[in-house]
Structure 1
């Protein structure tokens, strides 16, 4: 089974585009959606950078296995895009499954 950029984007927590990290992005995979399918925003120093891509541009993106990145093009040229997954952790104060008294000493 071939992985597509659309599939990868659906589980991404953050993107890297042209070497800039962007956690502010929107993905709309419904073809009936009016507007861009992927909208990315990030700060580059003091400048707000924005990109937007259609479903057709996402579908045409080429995967680079060596760098695990995608080459995606818009009217301004080609861009290198990486989808990143974050680590989720439970931040609750609830007791875990192993009480401290039951932990064996080494």
Structure 2
């Protein structure tokens, strides 16, 4: 499985050896957006075209397209951990939000 990115959207791609065809699907959204191609260039173009078609479809229906991520999420933790991360952020001289974002970024690299 491979991950591709286009216009802020992310897709997983798999290769069907029997059909000699790459199949992709945009992930992390309720709407279904798929694409396929026989070469990498064809696959990239199909991904871009599928995103464009999705955006046009949403506009025609007067709907907001799903955004891959809003940049916000809620995390529930035990009060002891909450106190510890607030303390760590204060010691670092930054906001809790910035401390959490930096910590998550380091953890994902």
TM-score scaled by length of structure 2:
0.31
TM-score scaled by length of structure 1:
0.31
Q: Which has the higher helix share?
A: 2
Per chain length, whose mean CA-contact separation is higher, i.e. which structure has more relative contact order (CA < 8 Å, sep 6+)?
1
Q: Which has the higher strand share?
A: 1
